[in-house]
Amino acid sequence: MSSPAEFYKSLPPITKAYGTICLMTTVASHLGLYRLENIALIHELVFSEFQVWRLLTNFFFLGNFSMNFGIRLLMIARYGVQLEQGPFQRRTADFLWMMIFGAISLLALSIVPILRGAFLGISLVFMLLYIWSREFPNAQVNIYGLVALKAFYLPWAMLALDVIFGSPLVPDLMGIIAGHLYYFLTVLHPLAGGRNIISTPRLVHKLVARARLEYPTNARVPQERTTGVAFTGRSYRLNSSTGRGFSLRRFWSS
């Protein structure tokens, strides 16, 4: 079993960077090093006082230390890593662009009064979960040791759990909307004969190349999907060749 340091070093760059920043943001808030209202998305201050940093910093706060914060961080470590090492293997620029596009989509949605929120990090994490569920739709997921279901239904199961636990539904719904928009434009629409209208800009490719963020791996690069059935995802499998599912019990254990 690898040590925590070895595990952290093995993480792909974008997921590792985002998860680390989210963790450090909560640590700094817990230590009182800054005030949350200074990084929150407050539209009036963005437009009237040009505090444009809020458009970025609001994505880094996933909440104070709590069970829910731990769940969101584990979601980044699970679904973000599997996406970056699977469908986006050797496509770091594309993965970064997916995150950027998701953030832009969520910022646009937040303009709607009923969807407005001070922090959109939870929505961005839920977007990763939704895209993962579309890429690995047939993976078996066990929730709390009680319910087994296909990964395709996982976002909706998580949404139902939020209803039970009394958590806000808007962040999750925004993540689903942003995730489906990206998946439709980059996968479903091209499969139907359309053109990918949000292909990764050259600037993002240059940024990744200059920062040397490409994630090296000796694993076989998965082949792109050639079928047109949306439910089958791109035919990536979890846990190597065994095809076994995994359990979310740790996410919901106290």
Instruction: Give pLDDT tens digits for 26-66.
Output: 999 999 999 999 999 999 999 999 999 999 999 999 999 99
- Those residues whose C-beta lies under 8 Å from the C-beta of residue 95, and which sit 6 or more positions away, are 12, 14, 83, 84, 88
CA distance 88 to 136: 13
Across 76-84, average pLDDT: 95
pLDDT digits (tens, 9 = 90+) for 117-143: 999 999 999 999 999 999 999 999 988
Contact 178, 123 (CB under 8 A): yes
Q: What is the pTM of this model?
A: 0.84
CB atoms within 10 A of CB 88: 24
Residue 150 has what pLDDT?
94
117 Rama sector, left if φ>0, alpha if ψ -120 to 50, beta otherwise: beta
Q: Tell me the angle at which helices 121-135 and 92-109 cross, rounded to the nearest 10 degrees.
A: 130
SS3 per residue for the chain:
CCCHHHHHHHCCHHHHHHHHHHHHHHHHHHCCCCCHHHCCCCHHHHHHCCCCCHHHHHHHCCCCCCHHHHHHHHHHHHHHHHHHHCCCCCCHHHHHHHHHHHHHHHHHHCCCHHHCCCCCHHHHHHHHHHHHHHHCCCCEEEECCCEEEEHHHHHHHHHHHHHHHCCCCHHHHHHHHHHHHHHHHHHHHHHCCCCCCCCCCHHHHHHHHHHCCCCCCCCCCCCCCCCCCHHHCCCCCCCHHHCCCEECHHHHCC
pLDDT digits (tens, 9 = 90+) for 142-186: 887 778 899 999 999 999 988 888 889 999 999 999 999 999 999
Q: For residue 218, is pLDDT > 50? A: no
From 115, 122, 111, select the one nearest 44 (Cα to Cα): 111
Q: What would the two tokens of residue 97 be?
A: 């662009």
Q: For residue 21, is pLDDT > 90? A: yes
Residue 52 has what pLDDT?
96
Q: For residue 230, is pLDDT > 50? A: no
b/e per residue, 5-30, with b = 16+ CB within 10 A?
eeeeeebbbbbbebbeebbebbeebe
Q: What is the sign of the dihedral through the CA atoms of 157, 162, 13 and 188?
A: positive
Mean pLDDT is lowest, of 55-69, 140-154, 189-203, 239-253, for 239-253
CATH code of 7-211, in short, is: 1.20.1540.10
CA distance 110 to 125: 16
CA distance 19 to 54: 18
